[in-house]
Structure 1
């Protein structure tokens, strides 16, 4: 068994990290930092294609965090034209001032991801001594991805999300708790705050809900460092 330290930052997706917040992340000494879907989004873009024009500015801010934080940064997400010229919603993966890779969203939101195409990257990564699965937003509902996780024996899954306001706080907790128990996985979700939409970051494990933001924190920035015990996924 190994203990992995994972920092999650429930963050307003329109606000940059201050130097004080970056120092807080650095002092956590975590191996991973998870940022919510849609972070950073500093420009009020009129469309995903317009948002893709700001790709470099988004990535530069992640690299600014990486100057102090030596672990793996996952997220949040932004629109970009990939190497094949497809407009996709992409989750950048950064470590040690290097943009290592992208995870591309496979299950699009028809109301938001306008003219965006389904991604085709792998959903399983090995970084920081850990083999893990990634889900971005609506990928949570993608049965094909979940079947792949089961086939490959993935023990820990990171869900970078935007909370869906059609569910109650209690329903969200119940869904994640049930799934983590049924699939015998560690499921860590990080959400961002924006425009009155609640943020419900949480950590569900086979034993139940290990941590969650309270109802009074749904509209607040919350930083939390989790210690996760993994059995099968840690690579020496």
Structure 2
């Protein structure tokens, strides 16, 4: 059994990380740092296609954080044209000032993300001494991804999301506690507040909710370091 230290940053999608926050991130000495879906979103774009113009600025901000943080950075997500020329919602994966890979959202919303194609990347990665699953936004309801996680015996899943406002705060906790128990996984969910929309980051395991953002913190920036016990690890 190994203990994985995971720093999650519930961060306002439209605000840059300050030097003071970078210092706090560095002090966590975590193996992973996870940002919400849609972070960083500093520019006003009228469409995902238009947002691709800012890809380099988004990535440069994450690389700036990587200068001081030696662990794996996951996220948040931004729109880009992939190697096949398809418009996708991509989650950048960085470590040690290197943009290592991308996870592409498999289930983009045709309503919220017009013109965005389903991603073709793998959903399972090995980095930072850990084999883990990644899902973004609507991927949560993609059964083929969950079937793959089960087949490959994935025990920890990072979920970068927006808050589903169809559920209340309490209903959210019940939903994710049940999901983690049903799938026998550790589920780390990271959200970011944006334009009055709440953020409900949490950590659910088969035994229940291990940590959650409080109701009064739904509109706040929250940096939290979690310690997660995993049975199978690599190179730690």
TM normalised by structure 1 equals 0.99
Could you list the structure 1 runs, at least 4 aligned residues long, displaced by more than 4 angstroms after superposition: none
Note the 1:7-18 alignment, pairs <5 A. 7-18=7-18
TM-superposed CA distance for 1:182, in Å, is 1.5
Partner of residue 55, structure 1:
55
What whole-Å deviation, never above 9, does each CA across 1:103-134 have from its counterpart, x for those lacking one? 00001112221101000000000000100000
Note the 1:201-216 alignment, pairs <5 A. 201-216=201-216
Question: RMSD in angstroms over aligned alpha carbons?
Answer: 0.6
CA distance in 1, matches of 2:181, 2:83: 38
In the alignment, is the contact (CA less than 8 A) between 2:80 and 2:88 conserved in 1?
yes
2:164 is the counterpart of 1:164? yes
CA distance in 2, matches of 1:164, 1:115: 22
Partner of residue 229, structure 2:
229
Once structures 1 and 2 are overlaid, which stretch shifts more, 78-87 or 161-170?
A: 161-170
CA distance in 1, matches of 2:166, 2:208: 23
**Partner SS state of residue 144, structure 1:** helix
Partner of residue 189, structure 1:
189
What whole-Å deviation, never above 9, does each CA across 1:24-46 have from its counterpart, x for those lacking one? 00000000000000000000111
**Partner SS state of residue 5, structure 1:** strand
Partner of residue 218, structure 2:
218
CA distance in 2, matches of 1:165, 1:195: 13
Give ranges in structure 2 of 5+ residues lacking alignment. none
CA distance in 2, matches of 1:81, 1:167: 33
TM normalised by structure 2 equals 0.99
Q: Number of matched residues?
A: 235
Give ranges in structure 1 of 5+ residues lacking alignment. none
TM-superposed CA distance for 1:181, in Å, is 1.1
Partner of residue 125, structure 2:
125
CA distance in 2, matches of 1:100, 1:19: 24
TM-superposed CA distance for 1:184, in Å, is 1.3
Note the 1:103-114 alignment, pairs <5 A. 103-114=103-114
